């Protein structure tokens, strides 16, 4: 018996880039839930934002927030004996990222070098709403950073390379999502996916874990490198994120949640060729 795990980005993947709607994937989500196939959100969004989408989508599975900053496992649902975790509210949390307070200290130091950039922590809720298209309530959730600092970079490519170098000296990194750059620690989505896949294997030793990962942006590439079936979702522009060194790889024909549903339905319809999933 095999156990399928779905790791998925949110923005422009499971939810629409502009409207944030997932209605075109709702039926497919229902199919997965009826077959007890975990849908593990793996996003640059905050814990607070992801919790809203999990509620709307009827998901109860673990999730990965802020570009692999932390893995949130509800209660004692999985065997975490091989990993370090802390308890936060209803979750067992595997923390992989740098606390936001430490990131913010570095950010303020770097800003003294006159880079033209602006972080979420420097914006009002109204400004975040304006540049994301989120409601004020949703923008407030997006501002609750725990392990990352999203920012707009308005400077030259040379300055971006300099910023990257300066942050590397602090053992920090920059990754790029669909709308913003993100300052993070040495974590990424791939590391979190690798750890959580191992946790599932330890929890279900009688099953072979088989994973699919779906994303559309550069920050999803580490995730795609650590799944059995990597899927790049088409952008609304008609293009796909450039991905090198992963073979084989699947590209969706349709963008956003339509493309997401297209690929997942194909996986479910062809599951006989890779074993029956619970």
Q: Please give the positions annotated as active site.
A: 9
Give the Cα separation of 148 and 104 in Å (integer).
9
Token pair of 129 as six digits = 């709403």
């Amino acid at each position: 018996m095999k156990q399928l795990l779905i790791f998925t980005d949110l923005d422009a993947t499971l939810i629409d880039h502009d409207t944030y709607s997932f209605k075109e994937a709702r039926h497919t989500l229902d199919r997965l839930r009826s077959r007890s196939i975990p849908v593990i959100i793996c996003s640059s969004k905050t814990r607070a934002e992801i919790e809203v989408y999990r509620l709307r989508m009827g998901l109860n599975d673990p999730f990965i927030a802020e570009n692999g900053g932390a893995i949130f496992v509800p209660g004692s649902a999985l065997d975490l004996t091989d990993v370090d975790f802390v308890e936060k509210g209803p979750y067992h949390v595997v923390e992989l990222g740098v606390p936001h307070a430490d990131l913010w200290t570095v950010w303020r130091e770097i800003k003294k070098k006159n880079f033209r950039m602006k972080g979420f922590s420097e914006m009002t809720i109204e400004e975040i709403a304006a540049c994301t298209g989120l409601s004020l309530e949703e923008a407030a959730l997006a501002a609750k950073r725990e392990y990352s600092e999203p920012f707009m970079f308005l400077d030259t490519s040379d300055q971006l390379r300099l910023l990257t170098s300066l942050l590397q000296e602090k053992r920090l990194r920059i990754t790029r999502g669909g709308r913003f750059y993100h300052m993070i620690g040495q974590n990424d989505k791939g590391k979190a996916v690798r750890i959580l896949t191992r946790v599932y294997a330890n929890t279900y030793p009688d099953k072979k874990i088989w994973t699919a990962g779906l994303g559309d942006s550069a920050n999803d590439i580490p995730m795609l490198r650590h799944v059995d079936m990597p899927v790049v979702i088409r952008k609304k522009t008609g293009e796909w994120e450039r991905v090198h060194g992963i073979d084989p790889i699947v590209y969706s024909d349709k963008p956003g949640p339509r493309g997401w549903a297209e690929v997942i339905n194909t996986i479910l319809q062809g599951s006989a060729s890779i074993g029956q999933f619970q």
